[in-house]
Chain A
């Protein structure tokens, strides 16, 4: 009895490991291949496509990306835009979510439904009105214009996630603070925010990722190469006069490696945060 149970768990164990190993290879291969392709010499990628490891290591492709394409400034743009979007939308969303939970609870459910609905406006539908709106505001080709359009998808999503967290804040604690003479903003900042911090961090990370990965609006709204985000610069590499897969892979590696490291560092936070919020 005991032995067969052991055998069975050994079997399910090995199946699990086998399955996970296959998935892991598929999941990691593109990253690996990007890096390996980026450090190969020009001819090798074409003449010997199935060679896993480069005959000779070269950093030439990276040199082109950094020195000729000034990729660093585009990375910085992406960080600035995604960072500003995150800060602004988390603040707006936190205020809004708290306000709804505390002061307009009756609208809570309706509002979350409305927000989900806004989440499904096809971005392609928004692109033309945005370019007109941003154009009228004189913000075309500026990072601030981009941040404003990004609020359209980040704020509703963030509110929706945060409402769940704010519902977990015990009312008694707030009431005690009011008795002490605190006003609403103070209660919000000093009592409520600390309680929901894990959720806010999770939401901030989600927002950052979505903004970092955004493509369509930045393609349409940004013209100067020194203001472009990394995604658009990568796209423009495809339209060069001479296609150079090595350079493209080097640039991709430079975009994706920091993202992967970031994900690995924060993976526990995002998962825990989202589940805790959406379950409530």
Chain B
């Protein structure tokens, strides 16, 4: 009798245990390979091209969460693993907005990947936190001279380059040819012309299409981006040479006033909360006449409103006065980094180098044609790249953006990489300022000063 009871107890305990192990085994991470011998360090000796024996597991975080971009990277990883049987690459993806939370919390808890993509602004924060490795050896091995100069400079601090540019794009002005024609308008070349044109279309369409949506959500950097366009086109910068926020320059005040006016008259009220995706979706759906974005708009429109593909195009950034030099650009050079915590930096390096081989690199770029411009010079002449149908159809866009890439930098990086550039885009301070002006009617000068102080305070705190 007693034995039976004990038996039943043991059995139930066993069941419990099996439940535990069930979640345990499925959850198990292949961490055991950490002890595997790192048999060699390839890609470090310059010019050695014979495949060295690699073994180990790496984790690769990127933020290309869907579609062909994700697939091309996955298939490159698969091919690489086939060539190097000892290597396992685990790819984990997050959207841009989650990415920041992920790596910051990851650093706090000692859980970062081996390699990842990054936002240009984040790279300086990563360097500042001493979280990533200098990659000069890798860049030299790929060939430093093959990269464009500006992106490399953007990722160089104290003489070391910490990230490898993967692709570039620049923000330009997108418009709708059909709408311009309908209202008999020319492509605007100044900010005033843009406002006029947007107002005419907004009025004419009566809510079916908005003139020019102005996104200001605090969970993204969109309002900072829009303000930066204006400020840069006036030859000013949002961060001064000595690393202070500058929202009270005449250009900045004018810019704030300009976008507030645009928001009030030609933008959906909802856009005060918009992030980059909400904003882009509006254009993809054919509900926004003028928008600022990179050539990612092409594939977005293609997916949502293929009927509009013949009516979209882009133009250089408007200027303050007619005939001014077009300088209001923001260029994004999306890089890859290798984390200091990595046990196998040599595998990450070998894999990155592998990604830049034309048979991998060109299909990756073409997964969002025109959207991702090559970081390596000779691709411009690549036959496969140039024979792509979208590249040919949007040749004008390609030229406009290629030209823009050369002029712009990331927001706040006009004077080189700095932590402040990351903070000005990641904290929603400028977005809050816009919301405050619009919803609370706060005086523009006062709001700008308050936001400027707030940013400078954050800059100081980051240096502590």
Contact = CB atoms under 8 A, between A and B. Distances in A.
Judge A-B direct contact (beta carbons within 8 Å). Answer: yes
Interface of A: 42, 46, 68, 80-81, 83-84, 87-88, 91, 127-128, 131-132, 134-136, 138-145, 147, 181-182, 185-186, 189-190, 219-220, 223-225, 227, 235-236, 238-243
Nearest to B278: A243
Interface residues of B, number: 49
Contact of B27 (A144, A189, A223, A240): A144
Nearest to A80: B23
A241 B61 contact: no
Contacts of B386: none
Interface in B51-87: 59, 61, 64-67
B101 A135 contact: no
B9 A185 contact: yes
Contacts of A42: 304
A223 B98 CA distance: 10
Contact of B67 (A88, A227, A241): A241
B108 A128 contact: yes
B36 interface: no
Contact of A131 (B19, B26, B27, B108): B108
Contacts of B64: 241
Contact of B65 (A140, A189, A241): A241
Interface in B84-99: 90, 92-98
B49 interface: no
B interface majority secondary structure: helix
18 contacts: A128-B108, A135-B110, A138-B31, A142-B27, A142-B29, A143-B27, A145-B27, A181-B2, A186-B9, A220-B101, A223-B111, A236-B65, A239-B95, A239-B97, A239-B98, A241-B277, A242-B281, A243-B281
Contact of B98 (A144, A147, A190, A235): A235
A42 B65 CA distance: 21
Given A80-B23, A189-B5, 17 more contacts: A46-B287, A84-B20, A88-B19, A138-B29, A182-B5, A185-B9, A186-B5, A190-B5, A223-B59, A224-B92, A239-B277, A240-B65, A241-B64, A241-B277, A241-B300, A242-B300, A243-B277
Nearest to B300: A242
A87 B109 contact: no
Nearest to A87: B19
Contacts of B94: 223, 236, 239
Contacts of B285: 46
Nearest to B368: A241
Interface string B1-27: 010010011001000100110111011
